[in-house]
Chains A and B, each alone.
Chain A
Amino acid sequence: MTEYLIKNGFVFDPVLGIKGDATDIAIKDGKIVETDAVKNPKVIDASGRTVMAGGVDIHAHVAGPKVNIGRNFRPEDKLFNTRPGRGVERMQGGFSVPTTIRTGYNYARMGYTTVMEAAMPPLYARHTHEEMRDTPIIDQGAYPVFGNNWFVLEYLKNNEIENAAAYIAWLLRVTKGYAVKVVNPGGTEAWGWGLNCENVHDPVPYFDITPAQIIKGLIEANEYLGLPHSMHIHTNNLGNPGNYTTTLDTFKLSEGIRPEGSFGRDQVMHHTHVQFHAYGGDNWGNMDSKAKEIMDYVNSHDNITIDMGAVTLDETTTMTADGPFEHHLTELNHLKWANADVELETAAGIVPYVYSPNIKVCAIQWCIGLELALLAKDPMRIFMTTDHPNAGPFTRYPRIMKWLMSQEAREEQFNAFKHRDKVIEATNLAGIDREIDLYEIAQMTRAGPAKSLGLSEICGGLAPGLAADVVVFDFNPNEPYAPDDIEDAFSNAEHLFKTGVHIINDHDIISNGNKRTLWVNARVNENPQVMRDVKEKFLRYYTVTLNNYEVSGHHYVPNPYVIEVDATE
């Protein structure tokens, strides 16, 4: 492989602790190496430019059945939003739910190289893997959903952590999954009957277990296995005024539990898109921000990480395994609604949504997303996301950077709100003058999520030995700049390397890369009871046979990167 030397860029890297000093970065055999380890490198002059590790997205809905429902049922999302193939680039289309090809390219253009698909229904694992296979450049993994899975509900009802763990290990293996995802625990199963679980103590119909038991049990099972990532949750009561108490109740379930395993993470719970879970008030008229209460808790408890779910004020397509929420949303906005319940496992809903700056609630949501990051004491524990495409498309990350880095940009947006004063009254944002710097951005988008995912030995930094995921942005932090310059520069990488392959040269995509699929192979002791239960459920309740369930074959996972976990004792 070609060796590269990226010379003299302003490097921001929390792993090395470099805060914008001009530093050389060397690449050899797909990895970062010491600068004297390259003999005859191709030199990239990065002087006057910003250099970072490839971005890591911990939570985005970019591949799988509900994403594709979003694409297919929204032809309007492609209107004036297509791009012909050119050079190595294939045809692209779509804004809030782009085609897989465009997903890969757009992430690459923003300098991202690792992206986690946030919810994979196990029965649809093949579909998710087919889409990830057809997403060029970026490394991807997918989180199978567990929070409404009948096996999990039955094991945890009886507090059988070891059995739950054995089942998780089995399911991760057969679906080629990465982590334990939980969406509206119990509530989505209740949605099978058109019902919901509205807080963590609301029992699940028939199964006689509470969401709190599911959450705590899955944290314990996750730590029993010592998986790379922690349990990753979207808790109950998403998107409702007054829901911050449910969120705090959820956080508290992690108290007293410490991380196990050898992957270097400090958290036992990752709570996703917290913006949607930080609302006060008791109706849409008096809904306000509880970001401060949420961040007070997060700042003082180091076994939790969160991501933002920042609202970007766009027309988008919401999609989640929180089936009852999407039904609630279609009743609110009267736009088209798709629903897809999955036997024994989960559900999903999809509804288009317009976050209008003229609507007070949308503007409050925008404030809350940014407040979470600006109130954070440790940027290594809060990550930039839009819960793509739920709060906005991932292509707006550079715009969120602009808002986080510039109070001027925030004020400009406040002044564009129809209900500016009411919004300011209901939120904290106008009183926050903090401006995040690029080092903190690198923590929130690179080193932090990589550590939370248990990938800090693989990516997220520029230390020798890590994968050579390196991006060069045409941005000089030491020269004066306008807020919009941030958005422009970070939307359009000048150079990108992904595991040592030169992907973007002078802003042009020149390679479709060497995309890998990350999955976790956790080995546990033989567990005859779980295997008997699996056989039984497939025989009686599933509509596919057990032998037709496992994802296997080159055409689903052509380039796997398997993370081995030994949980046998």
Chain B
Amino acid sequence: MTKTVTDVICPFCGTLCDDLEVVVSKDGKNLLEVYNACAIGAEKFLHSQAKDRLTRPRMRQEDGSWKEISYDEAIEYTAKILTEAKKPLMYGWSSTNCEAQGVGSEIGEYVGAVMDNTATVCHGTSLIAVQDIGIPSCTLGEIKNRADRILFWGCNPAHAHPRHMSRYSIFPRGFFTGKGHTGRKMIVVDPRVTDTARIADIHLQIEQGRDYELFDAFRVAFKGEQLPDIVAGIPKERIYEAAETLKSGRFAIIFFGMGVTQSLGKNHNIDAAIAVTRDLNDYTKAAIMPMRGHYNVTGSGQVWGWLFGFPFAVDLSRGFARYNPGETTANDLLRRGEVDAVFVLGSDPGAHFPFSSVKKIYGLPSVAVEPHETPTTEVCKVHVPVAFVGVEVGGCAYRMDNVPIETRKVVDAPEGMMTDEEFLTHVLARVKEIKGI
């Protein structure tokens, strides 16, 4: 006999689908099937069932081999390196729940850490742009129910957010959008002919790195002013056409991704993208939304927002919260050799940071709290495997539109495994003990 758990939240990407159905064994120990999820999401659930999964912490030995240690030893090591360090980096926080983020933040306060999340190599530039110019946005349901002009800029939801178009943006029939995708015009701006671009009504195949120019060209085109014959590799007629398409809609939305946040121009591109959205509001209703990657990177920015006032790159080392991207961002700190211990949770910088940063992690006292074996766990001194949030433990996560959803536990974690929050709570208690707080 099996049982089916419904309304399950997928802890993979910022789309945070909440309609999955998961079949588990009667005793709740084994996860058997996943329905409604995309291929990536289903794999995340099924992967938790791997027979060769690590279930206990381990410590790197002098000869390079791993030795299994107890959770207590891992807690002691973590508390020790964090309290002994002058300026530890506590990085990640994007693939865990808000409760763990909250406890981690308290640890960060007591040890004077620099807290940074994966936005630092992703949508951090968007967050900076929002501080410059604001952001007119909305929830994904507004898109579903109202939007008839959809622009994807530098993002490829067909692969990166596989259910985004079917749940929210292109295909669903909402309250005022009863015709579904036939009532919507879809524009894609991307230098590549991606699978998303292939189904667009208009694909503007921009020259790589020319996003800022094209955004500005849109603003010129909205006003009906003269454009050069070609901007960013696009003939002006096509820009006028796309601009008119956006203006003529009842509700326009711009989704943007790493193709524009981390290419030449960075936050300035997003400044321009938001200015385009502001301008569009003079003609119709328009909104803009970053396609956030990890399922709860948004949540870590929220938690730090209410605790410290900044969404990423929060330096607590002076006793109060400081924020100065470029100085207090993880890669800049690592590459300049400014941190003396590294704690990673809910992210894989080993795979995503520049090699020069990863080498620095390798040379420092370091802990990776992570259910999987990853490039990060390979370079850290201690690896603490934990339960999967959203599979083996619940907790709050924020969707890319900042909507908080409580994830669900569907199966038990392997016997004796800790969750992120439990591990951090123990570390916090030990840190307070050491510090005499």
Chain A residues near B (Cβ < 8 Å): 63, 65, 67-68, 71-75, 77-78, 82-85, 90-94, 97, 99-101, 123-124, 126-127, 130-131, 134, 150, 191-194, 206, 327, 330, 335-344, 347, 350-351, 540-545, 547-548, 552-553, 555-556
Contact B109 A543 (CB under 8 A): no
Contact A338 B285 (CB under 8 A): no
Question: Which segment of B75-83, B254-262, B314-322 sits at the interface?
Answer: B314-322
Contact A339 B109 (CB under 8 A): no
Contact A72 B301 (CB under 8 A): yes
Q: Decide yes or no whether B150 CB sits under 8 A from chain A.
A: no
Q: Other than A73-B130, A85-B319, give 7 A-B pairs with Cβ distance below 8 A.
A: A72-B302, A78-B323, A84-B319, A338-B134, A541-B141, A544-B403, A544-B405
Instruction: State A458–B19 Cα separation when bound (angstroms).
Output: 42
Chain B residues near A (Cβ < 8 Å): 6-7, 9, 18-19, 98-99, 102, 106, 109, 127, 130-142, 144-146, 167-168, 174-176, 250-251, 278, 281, 284-285, 287, 301-303, 305-311, 316, 318-323, 394-396, 398, 402-406
Whether A75 contacts B98 in the complex (CB less than 8 A), given A91-B319, A350-B134, A541-B175, comes out as: no
Which listed residue (A77, A335, A337, A351) contacts B309, Cβ 8 A?
A77
Contact B404 A126 (CB under 8 A): yes
Contact B402 A65 (CB under 8 A): yes
Whether A91 contacts B109 in the complex (CB less than 8 A), given A75-B131, A130-B98, A351-B134, comes out as: yes
Contact B144 A545 (CB under 8 A): no
Contact B403 A91 (CB under 8 A): no
Interface of B: prevailing SS: mixed
Most buried by A among B130, B134, B301, B306: B306
CB distance from B300 to the nearest CB of A (A): 12
- CB neighbours (8 Å) of B281 from chain A are 194, 327
Contact A124 B311 (CB under 8 A): no
Task: Write the chain A residue with the least CB distance to B325.
Answer: A75
Task: Write the chain B residue with the least CB distance to A123.
Answer: B403
Instruction: State A459–B403 Cα separation when bound (angstroms).
Output: 34
Task: Write the chain B residue with the least CB distance to A125.
Answer: B404
CB distance from A342 to the nearest CB of B (A): 5
Instruction: State A130–B319 Cα separation when bound (angstroms).
Output: 24
Task: Write the chain B residue with the least CB distance to A74.
Answer: B131
- CB neighbours (8 Å) of A350 from chain B are 134
Which listed residue (B106, B134, B305) contacts A330, Cβ 8 A?
B134
Contact A543 B402 (CB under 8 A): no
CB distance from A18 to the nearest CB of B (A): 39
Contact A100 B307 (CB under 8 A): yes
> A-B pairs with the 10 shortest C-beta distances?
A343-B141, A336-B134, A84-B319, A341-B138, A194-B285, A82-B320, A339-B136, A126-B404, A547-B7, A543-B141
Contact A130 B309 (CB under 8 A): no
Contact B405 A548 (CB under 8 A): yes
Contact A543 B319 (CB under 8 A): no
Instruction: State A123–B406 Cα separation when bound (angstroms).
Output: 12
Instruction: State A338–B316 Cα separation when bound (angstroms).
Output: 27
- CB neighbours (8 Å) of B131 from chain A are 72-75, 336
- CB neighbours (8 Å) of B139 from chain A are 123, 340-343, 543
Which listed residue (B6, B138, B145, B305) contacts A72, Cβ 8 A?
B305
Whether A93 contacts B308 in the complex (CB less than 8 A), given A338-B136, A343-B139, A548-B406, comes out as: yes
- CB neighbours (8 Å) of B303 from chain A are 130
- CB neighbours (8 Å) of B310 from chain A are 71-72, 75, 78
- CB neighbours (8 Å) of A555 from chain B are 99, 395-396
- CB neighbours (8 Å) of B309 from chain A are 71-72, 75, 77-78, 93-94, 97, 99
Some 28 contacts from A to B, beta carbons below 8 A apart, are A71-B305, A71-B306, A71-B309, A72-B131, A73-B135, A77-B309, A84-B318, A85-B319, A91-B319, A99-B306, A124-B403, A126-B404, A192-B285, A193-B285, A327-B281, A336-B133, A338-B137, A339-B135, A343-B142, A344-B145, A351-B134, A542-B141, A543-B168, A544-B405, A545-B18, A548-B18, A553-B394, A553-B406
Contact B174 A192 (CB under 8 A): no
- CB neighbours (8 Å) of A82 from chain B are 320-322
Instruction: State A74–B133 Cα separation when bound (angstroms).
Output: 10
Instruction: State A130–B100 Cα separation when bound (angstroms).
Output: 13
- CB neighbours (8 Å) of B302 from chain A are 68, 72, 127
Whether A548 contacts B7 in the complex (CB less than 8 A), given A72-B305, A93-B309, A351-B134, comes out as: yes
- CB neighbours (8 Å) of A335 from chain B are 134
Contact B134 A337 (CB under 8 A): yes
Contact A131 B306 (CB under 8 A): yes
Contact B323 A342 (CB under 8 A): no
CB distance from A340 to the nearest CB of B (A): 6
- CB neighbours (8 Å) of B406 from chain A are 126, 548, 552-553
